[in-house]
Amino acid sequence: MSHSQHPVALRLEQRVGGAARLLATVMALPLVDGIFPAMVLAGALSDPIGILEVGLLVFGGSATVAVILAEMSGSRRERVETTLAVGVVVLVLAGVEAALAPTIESLLDLVVFERFAALVILAIAAKTASARVGEYLPRPAVIVGLGMVASLDPANAQLVLVPDFTLVLRGVAAAGTGVAFALAVAVTSPWLHDAVDIDRFRFGSAVALGVLGLSVLGLVPDDAPLALAVLGVTTLLAFDPGEVDEESGEATAEETTASTTADEETDIGPDRAPWL
């Protein structure tokens, strides 16, 4: 169980339990809450930059990093195997939802729906940055549902039996980017565990998500990958190698496991930095 004091993190753990299930919940949440389909319909995957942004910020992000680094125990191999198993499911579901996107698109007025898609991203960014602010905001699924109702236009509805394979590939590529990012974190987790300030990365990811939402609204130039730039700066600021053992240069898997076990046996005070 996590020692995080973040209310969202605690609620997730109470519902799913276990680090593997928690990682699956975090990475699959964009597919369940409708965030990913909203991004697909809003045209966020129209270019490679958009695919990277959605993959790193929606499927990757601070929650994925925190679960792997702060909640998973065991060796590097065990973390990689767990992450890979979750990643396969995410890839399949992302492909299915991208295949259904043309049918959903025929039912909606995309100009209206894109506004709600941007609101979803901004709401997630606010929830990530501050749990207190997030308490006053509706769930992403609620915003997506309202957006579908407000933009419903059944006059041109049609069942698309042949999926747009280009769109499916883009959807899988976005999910694959997030999975690859998670695998990279799992592989380097024994070292990153003591070299990354999760709280800084969480806040910076929230800012990057906010920039992505503004770009969907057209308030940020699409030709400038500002969200990726913010994420890059966030990664640099969150990197704190001073905490790593100076003699070995990295923390071993055994040390990481021992540290996690020790945390589980100790009451952590309310000053612990939230991870989600």
Residue 250 lies in a domain: no
Assess whether pLDDT exceeds 70 at residue 177: yes
Contacts of 34 (CB under 8 A, 6+ apart): 120, 140, 141, 144, 145
Contacts of 11 (CB under 8 A, 6+ apart): none
Count of structural domains, the chain:
1
The Cα–Cα gap between 274 and 7 comes to 9
- Provide the token pair at 232: 């890059």
Mean pLDDT across 267-273: 41
Residue 3 lies in a domain: no
Residue 104 lies in a domain: yes
The Cα–Cα gap between 7 and 4 comes to 8
The Cα–Cα gap between 62 and 276 comes to 6
- Which residues span the domain enclosing 174? 12-238
Our measurement of the distance from residue 157's CA atom to the centroid of its chain's CA atoms, rounded to an integer in Å, reads 31
Q: How would residue 181 be classed by pLDDT, with cut points 50, 70 and 90?
A: very high
Note the pLDDT tens digit of each residue in 227-263: 788 888 888 888 776 644 444 444 444 444 444 444 4
**Of 169, 175, 168, nearest to 102 (Cα)?**
168
For residue 152, which amino acid is it?
L
Assess whether pLDDT exceeds 90 at residue 170: yes
Residue 222 lies in a domain: yes
Residue 224 lies in a domain: yes
Average pLDDT, the chain: 76
Mean pLDDT across 198-207: 83
What is the pLDDT, as a whole number, of residue 260?
A: 44
SS (H, E, C) the chain: CCCCCCHHHHHHHHHHCCHHHHHHHHHHHHHHCCHHHHHHHCCCCCCHHHHHHHHHHHHHHHHHHHHHHHHCCCCHHHHHHHHHHHHHHHHHHHHHHHHHHHHHHCCECHHHHHHHHHHHHHHHHHHHHCHHHHCCCCCHHHHHHHHHHHCECHHHCCCCCCCCHHHHHHHHHHHHHHHHHHHHHHHCHHHHCCCECHHHHHHHHHHHHHHHHHHHHCCCCCCCCHHHHHHHHHHHHHECHHHCCCCCCCCCHHHHHHHHHHHHCCCCCCCCCCCC
Model confidence, pTM: 0.74
Note the pLDDT tens digit of each residue in 56-67: 988 888 888 888
Residue 175 lies in a domain: yes
10 Å CB burial of residue 270 (0-12, 13-18, 19+) is: exposed
| Residue 246 φ/ψ, nearest 5 degrees | -70, -25
Contact 57/204 with Cβ under 8 angstroms? Answer: no
Residue 73 lies in a domain: yes
**Lowest-confidence region among 12-16, 36-40, 53-57:** 12-16
Percent of the chain with pLDDT over 90: 15
Residue 33 lies in a domain: yes
Torsion (CA) 35, 41, 47, 49 in degrees, nearest 10: -20
Assess whether pLDDT exceeds 50 at residue 151: yes
